[in-house]
Amino acid sequence: MQKTAKKVAHIFLIDDHPAVRDGLKLLFSGASYLVCGEAETSSETFERIGASGAELAVLDLSLGDESGFELIAELCRLGIAVLVYSMHEDADTIEKSFRLGATGYVTKREKSAVLRLAVSDILAGRRYVSPRAVQSLTDRALSSPQVNQKYLPSDRERQILSLLGRGESNADIAAALAISIRTVETHFVRIISKLKLDGMKELRRYAIQNKPRNGC
């Protein structure tokens, strides 16, 4: 009986350091993976990735004078999963990456086995957050003000929190819900009071942390 050929996953590397890309190519050399292309800038990425057949992009967030953030949503729209591989370990950067559509986040201080596990999980349809990234998110969550655990938002408050968590402005929220900006601000004050938060910054953080998690 003829054996079915094992599917090879196509990985595209985006990093402005050639030595890092060379190391990743060695890491992913084998029967299961194929590095189908590489780039060190946004323009190079879009010139090359379309014809590469990439399923997954391993993306650095610091690309010289450019930000890798700008690439995440675009790659997602192309149907390419994004694994952020970055030196940045702060919770805000990690959360922003997932908010823009990343499927995984691995810090560059992790061992190579962690990166391979992340790629395996993402290609299997799962999200992945590396241990250092998890620790950063946990530390930030534990340092946040204690919210009112008994708080149950009304339907309107739930809508407002959802839109706020997606990064919408006060004006955008008002337009989406057909209410005035003043009414939106009044809801913010009430929610902040109910949750016992310290102002809009903490409310926005709460909304981001508790918004529905959608994939690409």
Q: What is the CATH number of the domain that holds 187?
A: 1.10.10.10
Report yes or no on 3 lying in a domain. no
- Please compute the mean of the pLDDT values over residues 111-127 and round it to a whole number: 94
Q: What is the pLDDT of residue 85?
A: 97
pTM of the model: 0.66
Token couple for 65: 């004078």
Domain count, the chain: 2
Q: What is the pLDDT of residue 145?
A: 58
Are 107 and 27 contained in the same domain?
Answer: yes
Are 29 and 120 contained in the same domain?
Answer: yes
Report yes or no on 102 lying in a domain. yes
Report yes or no on 150 lying in a domain. no
Domain that includes residue 136, residue range: 9-142
Report yes or no on 4 lying in a domain. no
Bridge partners of 84, per DSSP, are 59, 105
Are 171 and 200 contained in the same domain?
Answer: yes
Confidence tier at 31 by pLDDT (50, 70, 90): low
Q: What is the CATH number of the domain that holds 37?
A: 3.40.50.2300
Q: Give 68-106 pLDDT, tens digit per residue.
A: 998 999 999 999 999 999 999 998 899 999 999 999 999
Report yes or no on 201 lying in a domain. yes
Q: Give 139-197 pLDDT, tens digit per residue.
A: 776 666 555 666 677 888 889 988 998 888 999 999 999 999 989 998 898 888 888 88
Are 81 and 175 contained in the same domain?
Answer: no
Q: Give 40-75 pLDDT, tens digit per residue.
A: 999 999 999 999 999 999 999 989 888 899 899 999
Alpha helices by DSSP H, 9-154: 18-27, 42-48, 69-77, 91-100, 112-123, 131-143
- Please compute the mean of the pLDDT values over residues 105-127 and round it to a whole number: 94
Q: Which single residue is written with the structure tokens 């967030």?
A: 61
Are 85 and 164 contained in the same domain?
Answer: no
Pick from 94, 113, 142: which residue ends a domain? 142
Are 105 and 131 contained in the same domain?
Answer: yes
Are 125 and 161 contained in the same domain?
Answer: no
Which is nearest to 191 in space by CA: 163, 157, 162, 159?
157
Are 87 and 53 contained in the same domain?
Answer: yes
C-alpha angle 111-132-10 in degrees, rounded to nearest 5 = 55
